[in-house]
């Protein structure tokens, strides 16, 4: 017994990290475009350093990405060669509605994605499409304040309706917001939030989160009305928090950190604000304007499946602990002394994937989808052009094994697995190209130099075999 028949193997990308062509065919400017490479990227991403347009002296990697916009045929052919059953990608909102609040969509943007989906269809690859992967048109930020403004719900509904209608029959799997909980950690990147001096940031973030949650439920409703076969998923930046020790303060700290993340999925999957969140908001003096209609929409239109990214588990310590802080996917935490780390300091914990899957499945009892997982690492190109990325194979092998255990031993229902960045692309966190995740190498460096040529790494052939044997042969 192993992976179920029809298991969806593939890879995942995001528009702003691969498309480039930021100003072509009517596309408008977005928050993700103006996040520079270098030390200011994170202050901009967190909304602490306002940057709402390109500024002199910075390099903006999203402007050109890996030029997927012009090379998608070649890239999808390579995915097909690996045997992909599914390709996760996202829509750049500002290609469809350049400013975000127009009456009519931009036909060139719609046509681009239609071509991409048709290309996938040619190879029998199922698209899994994220409506927004961190992007928000700049105009919606400068004019309305981003997701803090409830008007964005209507703009997003319009976007969703346009997409579901146009791509009816071409796309069956949709995700509403990438890593919806990222709003708490990188609010400019996650929700187009820029803060005023002295503003209550928690109030703004949870207000914006409420708007996204309501928008997500509306999108689910609209999708099912347009085509009952559409499956809509939520998307969590997952990775369970472990207590640093059995000290009750540490266990409690882990519980609170987990709740901070589950909050989003509790609303999207169970349909209402959980009691612990209502109390937390009250304690922090955060007031949300939740209308009866919001409550109804949230309750009646929950998601069909739970998707999530998993790079590592996390670890939390309560007051009085001497644990060290550690880096990782924008989530603060303490160092787990039992785990090794990637070159970027992210903990490596394959068993944690099985643990996380069990926790999510126990909690929601809905099918899961692992839509991101992978190792960001430096690759070396040998003189003959080959790339031996055994370390990446090892990472993925162990994580696939953990998923298999969760399915076969624990009975978790899993729809599919898309590794992050099957082709090297721009890092969301750092803006680097040198933090590579791909099976396919892209000749491009951190300063934007390189031919953009694609080549197959050792892991390309390995993943091809994994898919061919439906996860039986992990090498
Ligand atoms: C997830 C995001 O947080 O992690 C992706 O959904 C991102 O957009 C991925 O690229 C890996 O993070 P990074 O910072 O290594 O690119």
Q: Where are the domains of the chain?
A: 8-468
Residue 374 CB partners (closer than 8 Å, separation 6+) = 311, 392, 395, 396, 419, 420, 421, 437
- Measuring CA to CA, which residue among 370, 366, 474 is closest to residue 12? 370
pLDDT at position 327: 64
Tokens of 100: 């975000």
pLDDT, residue 332, reads 72
Handedness of CA 131, 135, 138, 142 (dihedral sign): positive
Q: Which atom of ligand 1 is nearest to the CA of 426?
A: 16
Spell out the long-range contacts of 322-331 with Cβ–Cβ below 8 A and sequence spacing 24 or more.
323/244, 328/239, 329/237, 329/239, 329/429, 330/182, 330/185, 330/186, 330/237, 330/429, 331/185, 331/237, 331/239
Q: Name which residue sits closest to atom 9 of ligand 1, judged by CA.
A: 428
Sort strands 231-237 and 305-309 into parallel, antiparallel or unpaired: parallel
Of the chain, the percentage scoring pLDDT greater than 70 comes to 99
Residue spans of the chain under pLDDT 50: none
Residue nearest to atom 15 of ligand 1 (CA): 427
Which residues' Cβ are closer than 6 Å to ligand 1?
14, 17, 178-179, 237, 309, 329, 372, 376, 420, 427-430, 435
Contact between 47 and 195 (Cβ < 8 Å)? yes
Please give the helix or strand (H or E) that residue 112 lies within, else none: helix 107-122
E strands present in 190-282: 231-237, 241-243
Residue of 18, 41, 45, 372 to mutate, ligand 1, most atoms within 8 A of C-beta: 372
Which atom in ligand 1 lies closest to the alpha carbon of residue 14? Answer: 8
Task: Say how many Å lie between the CA of residue 457 and the centre of ligand 1.
Answer: 21
For 265, half-sphere exposure in the C-beta direction (CA atoms, 13 angstrom radius) is 29
Cβ-based neighbours of 383, under 8 Å, separated by 6 or more: none
Cα 400 versus chain centre, distance: 19
Cα distance between residue 475 and residue 465, in whole Å: 8
The position carrying tokens 């209507």 is 154
Give residue 456's pLDDT.
98
Find the 390 Cα to ligand 1 centroid distance in Å. Answer: 21
- Token pair in block for residue 441: 């190498």
DSSP code, position 88: E
- Is the overall model pTM greater than 0.85, yes or no? yes
Nearest atom, ligand 1, residue 330 CA: 3
What residue ranges in 3-125 does DSSP mark as E strands? 8-12, 86-90
The H-or-E segment that residue 126 falls in is: strand 126-132
Q: What is the H or E stretch that residue 307 is in?
A: strand 305-309
Beta strands 340-341; 347-348: pairing state? antiparallel
Residue whose token pair is 């003189």: 383
At residue 348, what are phi and psi to the nearest 5 degrees?
-115, 120
Cite the active site residues.
179, 372
Question: What residue ranges in 13-92 does DSSP mark as E strands?
Answer: 86-90
Q: For strand 8-12 and strand 414-420, is the pairing parallel, antiparallel, or unpaired? A: parallel
Give phi and psi for 131, each to the nearest 5: -65, -50
Residue 104, token pair as written in the block: 């009519």
Q: Return the pLDDT at 201.
A: 96
Fold classified for 8-468: TIM Barrel (3.20.20)
Supply the residue whose CA is at minimum distance from atom 7 of ligand 1. 428
Phi-psi region of 438 (alpha: psi -120 to 50; beta: other; left: phi over 0): beta
Please give the pLDDT value at position 329: 61
């Amino acid at each position: 017994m192993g992976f179920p028949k029809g298991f969806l193997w593939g890879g995942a990308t995001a528009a702003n990290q691969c498309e480039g062509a930021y100003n072509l065919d009517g596309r408008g400017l977005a928050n993700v475009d103006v996040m520079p490479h270098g030390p200011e990227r994170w202050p901009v991403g967190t909304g602490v350093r306002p940057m709402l347009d390109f500024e002199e002296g910075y390099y903006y990697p999203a402007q050109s990405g890996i030029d997927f916009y012009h090379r998608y045929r070649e890239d999808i052919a390579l995915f097909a060669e690996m045997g992909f059953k599914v390709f996760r990608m996202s829509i750049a909102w500002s290609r469809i509605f350049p400013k975000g609040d127009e009456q009519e969509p931009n036909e060139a943007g719609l046509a681009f994605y239609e071509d991409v989906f048709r290309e996938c269809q040619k190879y029998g690859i199922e698209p899994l499409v994220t409506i927004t992967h961190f992007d928000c048109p700049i105009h919606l930020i400068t004019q309305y304040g981003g997701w803090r403004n409830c008007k964005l719900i209507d703009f997003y509904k319009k976007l969703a309706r346009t997409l579901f209608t146009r791509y009816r029959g071409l796309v069956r799997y949709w995700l509403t917001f990438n890593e919806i909980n990222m709003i708490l950690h990188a609010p400019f990147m996650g929700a187009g939030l820029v803060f005023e001096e002295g503003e209550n940031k928690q109030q703004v973030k949870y207000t914006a989160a409420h708007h996204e949650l309501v928008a997500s439920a509306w999108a689910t409703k609209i999708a099912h009305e347009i085509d009952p076969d559409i499956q809509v998923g939520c998307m969590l930046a997952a990775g369970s928090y472990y207590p640093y020790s059995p000290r009750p303060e540490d266990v409690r700290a882990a519980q609170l950190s987990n709740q901070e993340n589950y909050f989003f999925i509790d609303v999207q999957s169970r349909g209402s604000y959980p009691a612990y969140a209502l109390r937390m908001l009250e304690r922090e003096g955060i007031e949300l304007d939740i209308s009866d209609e919001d409550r109804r929409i949230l309750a009646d239109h929950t998601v069909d499946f739970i998707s999530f990214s998993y790079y590592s588990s996390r670890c939390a310590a309560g007051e009085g602990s001497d644990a060290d802080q550690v880096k990782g996917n924008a989530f603060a935490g303490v160092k787990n002394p039992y785990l090794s780390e990637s070159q970027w300091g992210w903990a490596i914990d394959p068993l944690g994937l099985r643990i996380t899957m069990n926790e999510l499945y126990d909690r929601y009892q809905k099918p899961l989808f692992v839509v991101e997982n992978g190792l960001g690492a430096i690759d070396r190109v040998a003189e003959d052009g080959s790339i031996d990325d055994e370390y990446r194979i090892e990472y993925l092998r162990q994580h696939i094994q953990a998923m298999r255990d969760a399915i076969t031993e624990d009975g978790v229902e899993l729809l599919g697995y898309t590794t992050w960045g099957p082709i090297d692309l721009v890092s969301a966190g750092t803006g680097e190209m040198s933090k590579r995740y791909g099976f396919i190498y892209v000749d491009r460096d951190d300063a934007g130099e390189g031919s953009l040529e694609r080549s197959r790494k050792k892991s390309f052939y390995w993943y091809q075999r994994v898919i061919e044997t439906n996860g039986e042969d992990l090498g």
